[in-house]
Amino acid sequence: MMPKTNTQEVISNFTTPRHSGRTPLFAEGAGEAFPVKIADEASFIIHASDPCAPFTTQLQEVISRYDEIKNRLMPDAESVMKRYFLSDAANQEDEVYATDESDCALSVVQQPPLDGTKVALWVYLLSGIKRQNCTHGVYSVTRGAYEHLWYAGAVANSSSSEHQTTRILEDYVMRLIENECTLKDNCVRTWFFVNDIDNNYSGVVKARNEVFMTQGLTPETHYISSTGIGGRVADSKVFATMDAYAVKGLLPGQMTYLYALDHMNRTSEYGVSFERATQIDYGDRRHVFVSGTASIDNQGQVVWPRDIKHQVKRMWENVEALLKEAEMNFNDITFALVYLRDPSDYAVVSALFQKQFPNTPHLLLHAPVCRPGWLIEMECMAVKAIHNERFPEF
């Protein structure tokens, strides 16, 4: 990561549509300036600066720095999704909810930042919002012809990860129906945070497979892009937590899926149900949501066991293949979250990412991947300006 001389921030502009005449601005990071073309959506990743400071101090610094950056660079934008990454949820979660007064979807997960600090923040912002509303945990924003639905921190009381995941998904299906949406047609992406993933992931997989089947999500139709990763909340009896994103107003053919079959096989071939990546074309831009992606081949096998450097490179190769299918490349990535099983791999992975993605917001977290042999996984979003008269603009 960057030197901790002050609060570290990395800001990514998601897109500047071709007709936008906005002037490029500069966002000053810790010891480095990043060119940022400010348009109407953005992602911020903010780190605390002093790993020796108490949690309260670090949290207040991160929130203050976010407010300062937003007011300086995107004063008319609103946060629509925030996710805090904590080092110790049992002792920190309540303070986050009590301190952050933002009117947006708010997710809090224990996935310790690997730079040694206690808290980091990812924020997604939008400008041009017509209406905001929060009903039954679904935070919705209307913008243009679309309604964007964010769902954060979903949990359920039950005795196992399987039963909790079933209840979480069934409740989410009902929330979507209340908003005149369905899981099959409108859900773009999910995140599952699994407490003790080595023991509880199988229950999450089983429940998701069964609920998806009832909703018409099959190998013959499609699944949903997703990350299933180690993470927990303060309550140790919560084995699974879910965040989700859906869009209302999409037309037929507007949301499609990316496979990179020469690099990776369909997930259903090894018993799980998610898509490798999802592409949404709007009239003025293309969004691609890349699922959690590891060092895997087209037989579903771990590539380069116990070799972190080679796993990083194979992981990048897989992500690059998915982006290429959407006529994109690494330059279109707007932010990335990177998950490491072994914290001792941080130094080597951080150096590799700083070299490959020097100006791309990314965050390295301690979070075991769903299969023990995978030492690392990354997810990302990419955006590219296009012109497509078939669909309304974003």
Q: DSSP alpha helices (H): ranges in 6-145?
A: 55-73, 89-99
Q: Are 140 and 147 in contact (CB under 8 A)?
A: yes
Domain ranges of the chain: 1-129, 131-250, 255-386
> What does the pLDDT look like over 352-369, one tens digit per residue?
999 999 999 999 999 999
> What does the pLDDT look like over 70-116, one tens digit per residue?
999 899 999 999 999 999 999 999 999 999 999 999 999 999 999 99
For the record, the structure tokens of 78 come out as: 């609103």
Q: Are 294 and 376 in contact (CB under 8 A)?
A: yes
Note whether 131-250 and 255-386 share their fold. Answer: yes
> What type of residue sits at position 186?
N
Question: Is residue 13 over pLDDT 90?
Answer: no
Percent of the chain with pLDDT over 70: 90
Percent of the chain with pLDDT over 90: 87
Comparing CA positions, the residue from 76, 95, 99 lying closest to residue 86 is: 95
> What does the pLDDT look like over 189-214, one tens digit per residue?
999 999 999 999 999 999 999 999 99
Comparing CA positions, the residue from 159, 168, 229 lying closest to residue 194 is: 229
Question: Is residue 132 over pLDDT 60?
Answer: yes
β-strand pairing of 225-230 with 187-194: parallel
The residue ranges of DSSP E strands in 295-352, in sequence order, are 333-340
Phi-psi map region of 265: left, alpha, beta (phi>0 left; psi -120 to 50 alpha):
beta
The third-level CATH classification (topology) of the domain covering 1-129 is: 60s Ribosomal Protein L30; Chain: A; (3.30.1330)
Domain 255-386 classification at class level: alpha beta
List C-alpha distances in Å: 247 to 142, 185, 208, 372.
Answer: 10, 9, 20, 34
CATH number of 131-250: 3.30.1330.40
Question: Is residue 31 over pLDDT 50?
Answer: no
| Other Cβ atoms closer than 10 A to 271 | 11
Question: Is residue 12 over pLDDT 90?
Answer: no
> What type of residue sits at position 47?
H
Q: Which helix (H) or strand (E) holds 75?
A: none
Question: Is residue 1 over pLDDT 70?
Answer: no
Q: Using CA atoms, how far apart are residues 237 and 28, in angstroms rounded to an integer?
A: 42
> What does the pLDDT look like over 236-287, one tens digit per residue?
999 999 999 999 999 999 999 999 999 999 999 999 999 999 999 999 999 9
Band of the pLDDT at 22, cuts 50, 70, 90? very low
Q: Locate tokens 């859906």: which residue? A: 246
> What type of residue sits at position 43?
S
Q: Using CA atoms, how far apart are residues 372 and 39, in angstroms rounded to an integer?
A: 41
- Res 32: pLDDT: 32
Q: Locate tokens 């990043």: which residue? A: 34
Q: Are 204 and 378 in contact (CB under 8 A)?
A: no
- Res 131: pLDDT: 85
